[in-house]
Structure 1
Amino acid sequence: MEKPLASSSTMEEAASSKQTSKTNASMETQSSNTTTSGRKGRKRNRKICICVTLLIILTFFIIPLIVSLTLFKPKRPITTVDSVTVERFRASINALAFKVDLNLTLHVDLSLKNPNRVGFSYGSSSVLLNYRGQLIGEAPLPANRIAPQKTQFMNLTLTLMADRLLSESELLSDVMAGVIPLNTFVKVSGKVSILKIFKIKVQSSSSCDLTISVSNRNVTSQKCKYSTKL
């Protein structure tokens, strides 16, 4: 006995169902491809933004830094004591009081050289006069600015503060020996501004040991040490 053949309507429904499944699968595949493509696009945009940001940083920070460290490389200012002369000197021995009455004024010529391609600004300071490690006189050094690659010359007067030597027993021995050892010291601190962005602190100092002749009333020897640092 023969089996009855499937009706045409049943076959059409089956074909339609298969077609619908294929269409849905195709749409899902397209949707997945679109999502993946969108993610890749966002990653690419982020990479572009990062590259642009790095380029801006290089342009506004790194390049000026390279220029400042090459063409505008900071150099140390140099403070020099050019000469020390005696303007006034009087020393007398008070035998009864066993002490020395000393009247002393020194004229000091200083020069401060700025070797940088930019200006150097420094704060107020003082030139100090010392006797065997004790401060006995000072002269003010006002704040100022030195133009690029220029030297500033300064003339200062150091006057002995007599009350500082009242307790110095060694002074009597020095006067009787005919020589008085003294020291002048000056330290200048300031900043070098490069491209108005980088400010570098610099310091320059000088220390001079000198000997004054009691009989000739002048400086007989002078030895100076100079120090600079960034």
Structure 2
Amino acid sequence: MASHRGWKICATVTGILFITILVVLVVLFLTVLKIKEPDIVARPVNLESYEVVVFPAIKFNVSIGILITVKNRNYGSFKYDNSTALISYRGKVIAVTPLKDGTIPSHRKFNITASMDILADKLLFDSNFLRDLRAGVLNFTSHTTVHGKGSLLKIFHKKATSNTDCNISIIVASQSVDSACTTSINF
């Protein structure tokens, strides 16, 4: 009879311990270890090179640098796929550059950089280009979409898509650039 009672106590203690561990693990996965959105910030773009010649022939070559910082706030890695960055002038795509895929380890920050060359042949056929060039300000927009997924223990995965849009103004006289960027993340 005593050994039967000992087995009941042992089974009860084991069951309570198992339930306690299970509750602690569920709470950890729902709070601390929950897959969170990465912080994705687009930095203002910079002008890497600039050349405008109007006479004897129009020549306009600009190289713009784009910097996107991704901060992985998770306890697992964040892997992003190959993507592209686009620059448009008055709704027409004038420059495209690929962004290579990569993986960001847990609690790390990673910079995705790209250099985009805008060449005159894409702009010369736009009737607004010469008018904007004479006015001294060329306005562009850039759009970058980054697809990726966060993982935890290589078991739990959550997909994310980041869209970054920038308004870029190139001031011709000072050869400077002014930009404002916004980022949205969809999980």
TM over 0.5: yes
**Counterpart Cα distance in 2 of 1:161 and 1:63:** 59
- Unmatched runs of 5 consecutive residues or more in structure 2: 1-17
Retained in 2: the 8 A contact 1:83–1:110?
no
> Runs of 5+ in structure 1 lacking a partner?
1-54
Aligned residues: 169
Tell which has more relative contact order, 1 or 2 (C-alpha 8 A, sep 6+): 2
Give the 5 Å matches for 1:165-180.
165-180=123-138
Residues 181, 212 of structure 1: 8 Å contact kept: yes
Give 2:87's match in structure 1, choosing from 121, 125, 129.
129
Paired position in structure 2 for 1:104: 62
Partner of 1:9 in structure 2?
Answer: none
- What is the Cα deviation at residue 107 of structure 1? 2.0
**What's 2:99 paired with?**
141
RMSD: 2.7
CA distance in structure 2 between the aligned counterparts of 1:119 and 1:148, rounded to whole angstroms: 5
> Map of 1:211-222 to 2, 5 A cutoff?
211-219=169-177, 221-222=178-179
Q: Displacement, 1:212?
A: 0.5
| 2:45 alignment partner, one of 84, 89, 97 | 84
Q: Secondary structure at the match of 2:185?
A: strand
TM-score by length of 1: 0.65
Q: Radius of gyration: which is bigger?
A: 1
Q: 1:225 aligns with which of 178, 182, 185?
A: 182
The runs of at least 4 consecutive aligned structure 1 residues that moved more than 4 Å come to 62-66
CA distance in 2, matches of 1:130, 1:64: 49
Partner of 1:185: 143
Structure 1 residues 65 and 172 mapped into 2: Cα distance closer, same or farther (>3 Å)? farther
Partner SS state of residue 160, structure 1: strand
Compared CA separation, residues 73 and 178, structure 1 to 2 (3 A): same
2:12 corresponds to: none
In structure 2, what residue type is equivalent to 1:71? Answer: V
Q: Which has the higher helix share?
A: 1
**Secondary structure of the equivalent of 1:173?**
helix
User: SS of 1:115's equivalent?
Assistant: coil
Q: Deviations over 1:62-107 (max 9, x none)?
A: 9866543222222212322223221222233469x9xx53211112
Q: TM-score, normalised by structure 2?
A: 0.78
